[in-house]
Amino acid sequence: MTTSLNNLTERLHARLRVGGNQPPEAIPDDAAVELRARLERDYAKLFDQAADLLVGFTQIAEEIDADTAQRITDFIAQQINAWTRDVKTAHAAEKRVFSDLGKVCDDVFLRKIDALTKEVSLVHARFTAYQIAERDRIRAEQEARRREAEEAHRKADEDAARLRAEAAKLAPTNREAAKNVIAQVEEAERRAAVANQVINAPDEKGHIRGDYGSMAYLKETYSFEVENFALVPLKFMLPNEKMIKAAIRSGVREIRGLRIFRTETSVFKR
């Protein structure tokens, strides 16, 4: 491993050991360039072989006869598969140091997250129960106010109608008295408007607000549980692909509603 990569790895290890407050450090561009250059250099022989193998494919005849089939078998089983295995082994070895560091990061950070998440989930269940109960309590009070407002609205409408009729009778003979009654009509209409605001107020959502601008609200989601499989429409039923494949591997060749068919493909073995 080159100096830049060694330094980067050491800094990553030091960061994990110290647990400092520094922000995450990006991989330097020169480290990435050096890594690519070293891999290209150290595995040049393997990569040159890949170029030669690609040329080999251009030499395979379009029409395959017995002799060509033998040569293809040797070519893929002996050369292609062996090269692929060697490259995968090298790739895993080179990547292991970074994977190991990633596992350390996961262990350090995710364990902390998991511990807090567990406690949050316990509080969350209790909090949700409280919030639902509080929302329902406030809605019950709101519904009681609505019923009172509906009664007040009905009475205000009746009063306004009665007073309008009274004002109409007084107007021809006693305009001053009629004017006073009209003022009572307007007061009844005002009471009806106030009651209407209570009746049409939006339902209480159960929001809880913190002292620093945060808010908790109830979110509705829908899930399901199966009560009777026989009644579930077919369009909502999915075949258990894993179980079906396991059954076929065990020798099952007939399953009602399925067509089990055979396919064949060449496998090259060294």
pLDDT tens profile 162-221? 999 999 998 888 888 889 999 999 999 999 999 999 999 988 888 888 888 888 988 888
The predicted model scores a pTM of: 0.55
> How far apart, in Å, are the Cα atoms of 243 and each of 66, 225, 226, 238, 240?
40, 21, 20, 12, 5
Q: Is 49 exposed, middle or buried (0-12, 13-18, 19+ CB in 10 A)?
A: middle
Identify the residue whose tokens are 């408007």.
193
Whether residue 18 has pLDDT greater than 50: no
Q: pLDDT > 90: what percent of the chain? A: 50
Mean pLDDT of 18-36: 67
Whether residue 4 has pLDDT greater than 60: no
Q: pLDDT for 142-172, tens place per residue?
A: 999 999 999 999 999 999 999 999 999 988 8
Q: pLDDT > 70: what percent of the chain? A: 89
**CA 14, 16, 22, 26 torsion: positive or negative?**
positive
